[in-house]
Chains A and B, each alone.
Chain A
Amino acid sequence: MDDQGTIEIEEARIRRLLQHAAEEIGGSQPEPSRVKRPRGRRSAAVVAVTVFALAASAGTGFAVGRSAPTSPTSSVRLASLPTEPPLVEAALKALYQLGDPQIVQRVDSVEVKYVTDQEFWHAISHAWQTRNPADCGTFSGPSGAIGHWYVVDLHGKFVSAASGGVATQFASVDVVMVPATDLQGYLRAMPPYVRQGEASAPAPSDGSEAVIVPPASGPPTNVSASEAGVPPLGTDGEPLCWSLLPSSS
């Protein structure tokens, strides 16, 4: 059994080591590999957009169990992080750029989830190894895990060219990056939270104008404080970044 004097000496030693370590870590610059690598990505920072089918009855895929409303609506309800409006707009814009505006027939809900670097990289790297490397060509290795990623899920009705133009229940995923080392700059450049989405929201099939509704009227419905930093998981327990790849089902 340690005596009190020994304990105090040990505690003092640990305190000193921790203080010095904290000073050095806190005062150091970010790890070089996390700041220097140019990604060569598009200026919009939208690195990957894939629209794919998820049969609602298939029982697989990330749409299962989500809180997307089942009835069509003419609004897009944002229910997530407050930084999401520009991200959602980027996602919608990217969808339009796929070529056919009719691809978006209806958007029922939008979810934006924060994914940490490592988690994102792990999901992508594993997908790269086991599925379709071509879809992960933007990502080059562990040292490339730079930035902070947000997964934007659009739930609604879309048209897939792969399924012969037949509209069915689809989910779209967009992945947007915010530089890891410049959260402060990102916050500074962030537009006001409440904004109208008339320029980028998709037009519903009934012809009425879609409106992006900020979640000011109530608390988020599908992302809680407890989920901050936690990526959404699929039924297999893997992060939903898997959704970057077309569903094989």
Chain B
Amino acid sequence: MAFMHERLPISSPEEQPPLEVLMEPGERIREIYAAEWRRLRAFATLITGDLSSGEDLSQSVFVEALRQEREHPGYLRTPAWPWLRMVAIRLALRQRQRMRMQLDRLRLLAASSAEPEWRAETLDIVRALKRLPPRMRMCVVLAYLEDQSTASVAEALGCTPKTVENQLREGRRRLRSLIDAS
């Protein structure tokens, strides 16, 4: 994912700047938003374990995308999805510590909030994912939903490929148990 940190090269007279540079940041983000919002919301919901957190996380990703585009026009290259996914993971990992602090209050909220009207199969997998530790959940979603290689997952999560393999093995075991029991 080298493109994430690349700066656009300065155009020589005979070169045209990439289309992204010619677009207003807001316009560029709107385009990405329209194309990727639903996918990002689904991804964020699965890695956080619930729709509300997933929507919050998705919005945070787009706020960050807007900030980057305004500071560095053309920062988001096409396709934008790998960058959005990477930022979602980064923000989700960073929010874990604070979320732990608020656990008691989260429990109160969870007890009073209604679940979305999804199919039983979707509810089962979302509930099962929610029971997994966050890092294991991210491994499973990245590997099996996003078809990322073990090395890519390891890079995204800042761990070794061996750790990812172990997490996936344990994740499969737990999911099988949880889904079969539901």
Contact = CB atoms under 8 A, between A and B. Distances in A.
At the interface, is chain B mostly helix, strand, loop or mixed?
helix
A117 B70 CA distance: 24
A81 B124 CA distance: 38
B176 A20 contact: no
Given A15-B144, A25-B42, A82-B67, A122 B59 contact: no
Interface in A43-76: none
B81 to A, nearest CB: 13
Interface string A136-151: 0000011101001000
Interface in B42-72: 42-43, 45-46, 51-57, 59-60, 62-64, 66-68, 70-71
Interface size class of B (residues with CB under 8 A): 35 or more
Given A30-B55, A228-B67, A116 B60 contact: yes
A125 to B, nearest CB: 7
A102 to B, nearest CB: 35
B71 A28 contact: no
A143 B126 CA distance: 21
A137 B53 CA distance: 25
Given A20-B122, A228-B64, A229-B63, A187 B30 contact: yes
A190 B26 contact: yes
Rank and list the top 5 A-B pairs by shortest CB-CB distance, nearest first.
Answer: A229-B60, A26-B42, A26-B38, A116-B56, A22-B42
13 contacts: A15-B144, A18-B140, A20-B119, A20-B122, A23-B42, A24-B119, A25-B126, A83-B66, A126-B105, A183-B33, A229-B59, A230-B98, A237-B101
